[in-house]
């Protein structure tokens, strides 16, 4: 069955899941993110607010160099591209984009997937959402010179939120 994880934090109480795959391996072949959750947190995502409570279900090492806020507010300067490029969690909830087992959203799903959790059906849905973000890669490549990180910063930051590394193109 795998390692059983129990989560009790400000978003979930006594939520349990199993980690059935090795950490960071055996991903669906359609899902090949450029960045690990740890790398994303170190680069700066979600204005430093997301995961600022450092959930105990994830390795402590993920948070050592993470750019996180201490005041429970979103800060553009903590993002890699110094711009806010996400909507408040409430908008995600209102649009039905939040899966019940991952109340923090896509990044929480990715963190748990990375750690070895698999959920039939939900993994497919999230991978389709991740793949849909590739349309932004085409826009950055079409409109920006390679290495011009000041070009399309909002799209670049949004791609970073989805584990795409736009510094590569």
Q: How far is CA 77 from the centre of its chain?
A: 18
Residue 19 phi/psi, 5° resolution? -100, 110
The residues that bridge with 4 in the sheet, in sequence order, are 18
Distance between CA 115 and CA 62 in Å, rounded? 12
Is 116's pLDDT higher than 70?
Answer: yes
Average pLDDT estimate for 84-92 = 84
Q: Which helix (H) or strand (E) holds 18?
A: strand 15-19
Q: Helices H, strands E: what count in the chain?
A: 7, 2
Is the pLDDT score of 1 beyond 80?
Answer: no
The dihedral built from the CA positions of residue 30, 33, 37 and 40, taken in this order, carries a sign that is negative
- What would the pLDDT profile of 35-65 be if each residue is shown by its tens digit? 999 999 999 999 999 899 999 999 999 999 9
- What whole-number distance in Å separates Cα of residue 45 and Cα of residue 161? 6
């Amino acid at each position: 069955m795998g390692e059983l994880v129990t989560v009790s934090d400000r978003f979930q109480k006594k939520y349990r899941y199993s980690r059935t795959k090795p950490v960071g391996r055996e991903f669906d072949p359609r899902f090949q993110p450029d960045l690990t959750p740890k790398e994303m947190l170190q680069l700066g995502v979600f204005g430093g607010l997301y995961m600022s409570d450092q959930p105990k279900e994830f390795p402590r090492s993920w948070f050592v160099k993470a750019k996180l806020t201490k005041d429970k507010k979103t800060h553009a300067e903590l993002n890699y591209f110094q711009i806010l490029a996400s909507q408040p969690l409430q908008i995600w909830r209102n649009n039905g984009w939040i899966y019940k087992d991952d109340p923090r959203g896509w990044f929480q799903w990715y963190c748990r997937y990375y750690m070895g959790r698999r959920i039939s059906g939900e993994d497919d849905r999230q991978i389709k959402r991740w793949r849909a973000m590739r349309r932004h890669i085409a826009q950055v490549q079409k409109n920006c010179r390679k290495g011009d990180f000041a070009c399309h910063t909002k799209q670049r930051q949004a791609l970073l939120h989805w584990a795409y590394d736009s510094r590569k193109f």
